[in-house]
Amino acid sequence: MSVIVQDAGFRADDHDGTGVLDIAGETPADALPGSFDDVDLIRIIFAAYADGRGFTLARALRGRGYRGRLRAVGPLIADQYAMARRSGFDEVEIPDEIAARQPEEQWLFRANWRAHDYRSRLSA
């Protein structure tokens, strides 16, 4: 099983499974699709928390105009939540084992990611 992490905390997956496109985290950015017809959800699959290529892919998809739901999937850790949100992800899907090791409070601590980025601090 898995847990969906959003700014409001842990959630069950509410997506119906249709219109999903899975993209491996090691996919080159120039190999991303150019069209998103009939795609409701793109899931970028992270093989390991130490591999940040999925963040680059998220930014590239948003740059290409994808406005739908974007989900990071894999063994990410709470410390990466702010980076995931800043790079364009709407949510993170983590395995139950990580949710048990890093409970909801640790993810919620990072859910105010907009207030803690360097750009916000510089413009204040």
For the cut 80, the answer to whether the pLDDT of residue 87 exceeds it is yes
d(Cα 111, Cα 80) in Å, to the nearest integer? 11
**For 13-56, what is each residue's pLDDT tens digit?**
999 989 999 999 999 999 999 899 999 999 999 999 899 999 99
- Considering its fold, how many domains does the chain have in total? 1
Q: Residue 82 falls within a domain, yes or no? A: yes
Q: Residue 89 falls within a domain, yes or no? A: yes
Q: How far is C-alpha 15 from the chain's CA centre?
A: 15
Global pTM reads 0.90
Q: Residue 33 falls within a domain, yes or no? A: no
**For 60-72, what is each residue's pLDDT tens digit?**
999 999 999 999 9
Q: Residue 34 falls within a domain, yes or no? A: no
**Can you give the pLDDT at residue 119?**
55
Q: Residue 61 falls within a domain, yes or no? A: yes
Domain that holds residue 80: 2-12+20-25+39-123
69-73 vs 91-95, strand pairing mode: parallel
